[in-house]
Amino acid sequence: MAEKVIRTIGVLTSGGDAPGMNAAIRAVVRQAIARGKKVKGIKRGYAGLLQEEIIDMDAHSVSEIIQRGGTILQTARCLEFIEPEVQKKAADICKKHGIDGLVVIGGDGSFKGAQKLAALGINTIGLPGTIDLDIACTEYTIGFDTAVNTAMEAIDKVRDTSTSHERCSIIEVMGRGAGYIALWCGIANGAEDILLPEKYDYDEQKLVNNIIEKRKHGKKHHIIVNAEGIGHSASMAKRIEAATGIETRATILGHMQRGGSPTAKDRVYASTMGALAVDLLCEGKTNRVVGYRHGAFVDFDIDEALAMKKEIPEYEYQIAKNLSI
């Protein structure tokens, strides 16, 4: 059977936004043009696709966006996309607009949608766009580097005032059920405790004992980095203050971690992934997801990628604990 010829490539961003998504969009558009393809942008993810919010894109459409956070195509979650009849409607809309190849930038949920469209005859390539770094097939996701640097800089500032007032500070970072932002910030910020959903045993007495012990040894502050998958930082702070007698404050960094100008790494890696997605479509590939492993950009079957499991690196976790003494 002859490979499907791709003439028009669509691109959408789905789920939570991440810095670097614009760099990926720009790369998809310009690489496609360089390969002689037309490009259509789909606004607001799968929700926008169902509403036919589809625009023509050219090189000018993506001028001056590589340095911008967020996504110029906007994004949304689309819970109804799990329904087979909704998936068929989306595939029919793609065909109506001449979209025979689609690049989906998002997380695991977005890839599941791409998987369904591939089964309905739309060639799809997924790009890992999430600040959470929770996609198992890749060591890098678009937006993680910027998000972790944003959080690190914020924690540095909290640390300054925490030291001045000899406080305990609990700083809650994003990541949903994954602790990668918390782990990286814990190491980068020299936190005394790091609470990860994958590791935390909810024994607050250990935290209390550690705070008291470190204070005896002359520590002027105590930084606890708490992943949002554990959460409840404000109530935790009250309990710790009551148990230790040490002033304890909670800071929830929240959505500031999703915004901001992307780092060089996020711009370069997102650009490379976007261009590779176009190349894969031009080769007739479908139902693939682009990743980064062992120093190289690679691609996997989406079914295989979704079946993979990801765990917190044990060595990095042990380092974080050893360096916190």
**Active site residues per annotation:** 132
DSSP structure string for 229-256 = TT--HHHHHHHHHHHH-S-EEEEE-GGG
CA-CA distance, 174 to 259, in Å (whole number)? 12
**Quick check: 174 and 130 in contact, CB under 8 A?**
no
**Quick check: 109 and 177 in contact, CB under 8 A?**
no
DSSP structure string for 253-310 = -GGGGG-SPPPHHHHHHHHHHHHHHHHHHHTT--SEEEEEETTEEEEEEHHHHHH---
Element (H, E) at 150: helix 144-164
Provide φ and ψ at 59, rounded to 5°: -60, -35
CA distances from 64 to 67, 112, 124, 230 (A): 7, 31, 27, 38
296's CB contacts (< 8 A; 6+ apart) are none
319's CB contacts (< 8 A; 6+ apart) are 187
CA-CA distance, 28 to 31, in Å (whole number)? 5
CA-CA distance, 90 to 303, in Å (whole number)? 20
Task: Return the closest-CA partner of residue 237 out of 223, 252, 249, 227.
Answer: 249
CA-CA distance, 143 to 224, in Å (whole number)? 23
Provide φ and ψ at 114, rounded to 5°: -60, -40
